Chains A and B, each alone.
Chain A
């Protein structure tokens, strides 16, 4: 009988001990970090800016101020420290809750920090911490402090960090001048001898003081708005250049990350008369050795539709479509070559050509890898081959403009 009671007692103790109250974290004791911004102050110390979600102000109606709560969807605070762990722990002097990083999806690094000190040494804390996820997105605050990016309130998406991520994803999918890079990708490129990272820049259009005001959201056209802009080119962990517009898209073409985009071509003297929508694209990069020198070949295969035709053009004629395809090839090839030349001028192999050489000629690569960026990459011969196919022309064949005045 006693034995039974002892077993019973042990089971009770087991149930209470095992049920997981040891390191419990109550939701009301956590501060959910949505974004983390890093700046340098004048003394060269890190300033960490934490964007913390106010759950009660996120729930409820979509209009700011209505329904859920009166305040802003996020609260932002900054602290300084000599490293990021210190920054994070010192922040506890300003906030009542334990900082919780499992949902930190955006890391913003200021342009100044990326240029001056580089990003080689600051990512370790994110990589090492088990709570933090390597799939968080990395962006560069272009032209402003990253604190200003973190403080800016946004329309449509209430949590600014979500807005940044969604904008990045959408623009990568629809337009293709920016790419969505997470910490893991960036670290892979930083470590690799044959590839340098590119990171999307995000800028604040307008007055930073306006951006953090709730009133900024209560007008139809906010005074200050966050926007992705350009690709930051890195070398040895430091930001050295920005690629914008078509040049940035050239980079994205080579990285095989174009999902869909719009390419304009001229038609019979009319500038940008035909818009071609890429719907499918595949780029393959390969390296061959010739007389001890590496040679790259880039093969782009794009499929798409005609999205707009502002000039009279007979789209029912396959011969015309062939002609359009020919012009398209030239246009895309031009974008790619421009990106390659610009990168070669910067002596930064952002395309991973070195990795392609490593794969195809591992023995020669050993000799080249130490001064790949400075010696071999700038002189690299790159052969670009583009195939572009017009598959469909939308609901209409000839544009209505071809029938005007007939």
Chain B
């Protein structure tokens, strides 16, 4: 474990940027059409519940990284195997986000540039940041947080001013009843983006004030959930359900629709900035989770030495995981959710918490 201290505010900012990361750019929960915002809010509620599980584990072992407390809870062999699996999981997710990022940039901004170059450039920046430690990422986050909110507020005002919002597009509410919404919550929004906050278990031990962890993280999840729901509601009310669901990146189409006073238009750069800031923070956190996990599992004294090899792995995996964008999305929605998100975000933490609870009760009793 490196010597670093994070303030509660820095955790708040990192969680928020991480959650908004790639989720604000993609058609989240569009399967339930105009009720997407509701599915996101419900997913957020579930995500908060999941995060409480991670927090309970953290409060049992406040100063120990997860890779170590897994061994304490489950025993050496199983604990190590689990920690290794988590490292692979975080590495894979980092490369998935990197792939999302590269696909978006190549699709709409750099059609002639190979994705390798785009991904490699971003990865270089991230690897450099992470090699300097988590504090650097957190401080960068503080700056980027202000920037992304300025962008979001400007964008929001411009959308309202140009009269694009048609609330009728969000009606009728719950057309097919509540069950499809619940289904989407439990198959999509609960895990992506809210359950993904499990990566923060590796960052929580650095908090300078552990008591504030719960309030900070949960309020950050709330704010991000509200932001995401609002963004999706705006996308649908501007584009209509049909266009929003046909868009690879609905937020981009929404921003492209802005036309104010004949000169404030074509603000694609807003999307670009949100994309790069979000991608940077999300990949950064995942990469850090993988690196610090590996460092504590294999007893590496200087975690920063691991950043370069794991970063390279992330880069190469991001290119190798799918041969086209459709395949990548399909994997993300179907395979990854069932085989990875559900066990890693729900089952294993619950199991760990249960055993930790029994062990600690024995100790005190």
Q: Which residues of A contact B (CB under 8 A)?
A: 18, 22-23, 102, 130, 133-135, 184, 187-188, 191-192, 355, 358-360, 362
Contact = CB atoms under 8 A, between A and B. Distances in A.
Given A130-B107, A188-B242, A23 B112 contact: yes
A187 B243 contact: yes
Nearest to B173: A362
Given A18-B121, A130-B108, 15 more contacts: A22-B117, A23-B110, A23-B112, A23-B113, A130-B111, A133-B266, A134-B256, A134-B257, A184-B243, A187-B242, A191-B243, A355-B168, A358-B172, A359-B168, A362-B172
State which size class the interface on B falls in: 20 to 34
A130 B256 CA distance: 10
Contact of B253 (A23, A134, A192, A360): A134
21 contacts: A18-B121, A22-B110, A22-B112, A23-B110, A23-B111, A23-B113, A130-B107, A134-B253, A135-B256, A135-B257, A184-B239, A184-B257, A187-B242, A188-B240, A188-B242, A191-B242, A355-B168, A358-B172, A359-B171, A359-B172, A360-B172
B98 to A, nearest CB: 17
Nearest to B238: A184
B331 interface: no
Interface in B236-250: 239-240, 242-243
B265 interface: yes
Contacts of B243: 184, 187-188, 191
A194 to B, nearest CB: 11
B2 interface: no
Contacts, number: 43
B131 interface: no
Contacts of A188: 240, 242-243
Interface in B80-121: 107-113, 117, 121
A184 to B, nearest CB: 7
B195 to A, nearest CB: 32
A23 B113 CA distance: 7
Contacts of A192: 240, 242
A187 B243 CA distance: 8
A292 B213 CA distance: 56
Contacts of A133: 256, 266
A294 B110 CA distance: 50
B259 interface: yes
